[in-house]
Structure formats: C-alpha cells, structure tokens
Structure 1
Amino acid sequence: MLQRRLLPIDRVYVPAKRRRTLDAARTDALAEDIMEHGQKTPIQLREDGDRFVLIEGLHRLEALRSLGETEVAAVLVQARVR
C-alpha cells in the first residue's frame, strides 16, 4: 500500500522533459484551489539517492512552490525494472 508522506519540496527533482509540459495558467488555478482547500491529491515520486524524482504532479508541485510551501504531500513509488 502506498503511504502518503510530507517531503521537502527542495529535494524534488523535475526532469527537463517533464518541465516542458508546464502550463502557467493551470499552475495558477491550482495554487488558488490549494489556498482554499489544501492539497487534495499527493504527487508521485521515486527515490533517487538523496533526492526524489517527480513521476506525477508537476502542476501541483509548482503551485505549492508558488505559494511558498516547503513541503509537499507525496507517495513514493517503486521504479519499474526493465
């Protein structure tokens, strides 16, 4: 079972390929929603040494950053072995 944890935002690495999909308007709308209702859905991360790599939730992460938050609710997932 995946467990929700609070993790430091500054330890989350966003791959360049994923960052290119960022939509500022969507991030702003999410920031407003988070201010009113809090973060409803955790982002998904995988561990990579002393950092976490973003799997899902770029707009939520950037919305929290824009609000000055230092922690993000996240679930850790295992990397797929190929």
Structure 2
Amino acid sequence: MLQKHTLAIADVRVPSKRMKTLDEAKLQKIAESIIEIGQTTPIQVRVDGDGYVLIEGLHRLEALRALGSTEVEAFFVRARLH
C-alpha cells in the first residue's frame, strides 16, 4: 500500500510537456473543491535528485499552488521501465 507524504510544492517539478495539458476550467473546478473539502487524492511523484517529478495530478498541484498552498500530499511511485 502506498504511503502519503507531505511535500513542499516548490520541490515538485512539472515536465514542460505535461504543463501544456493544463486546462484552466478544470483547475478552477478542482480549486473550488479543495476549498470546500481539502485535497482528497494525493498526487503521484517520483524522486529525482533533491526533488520530485510529477507523474500524476497536475491539476491538483496547480490548484493548490493557485490557492497559495505551500505543501501537497503525494504518493511516491517508481518510474515505469519500457
């Protein structure tokens, strides 16, 4: 079972290719949900040197950032081998 960790948002790097998929309307909807009930689903990251790379949860991460949060709940996952 995955264990939740609390990370500094500033330590999470979003690949530029992934950032291009950001949908502003979806971000706003998630931000409203976070205001009402908090972050219910952790993002997924992989460890990369001194920081982390986002694997899943771009809109949750950006909604928290837009709300002024400095921390995010996350699961650590391993990179897939192809």
- The reply to whether TM is greater than 0.5 is yes
Which segments of 5 or more consecutive residues in structure 2 lack a partner in the other structure? none
CA–CA separation in structure 2 for the residues paired with 1:80 and 1:66: 30
* Percentage of matched positions with identical amino acids: 61
Task: Report the Cα offset of residue 78 of structure 1.
Answer: 1.1
Number of positions where the alignment pairs a residue of Structure 1 with one of Structure 2: 82
Q: Which residue of 2 aligns with 1:65?
A: 65
Write the letter of the residue equivalent to 2:28: D
* Residue in 1 that maps onto 2:18: 18
Q: Displacement of 1:2 after TM fit? A: 1.2
**TM superposition outliers: structure 1 runs of 4+ over 3 Å:** none
Q: Which amino acid aligns with 2:38?
A: G
- Aligned counterpart, 2:78: 78
Q: Supply the RMSD in Å over aligned alpha carbons.
A: 0.8
Secondary structure of the residue aligned to 1:35 is helix
- CA distance in 2 between counterparts of 1:18 and 1:76 reads 18
TM-score, normalised with respect to structure 1: 0.96
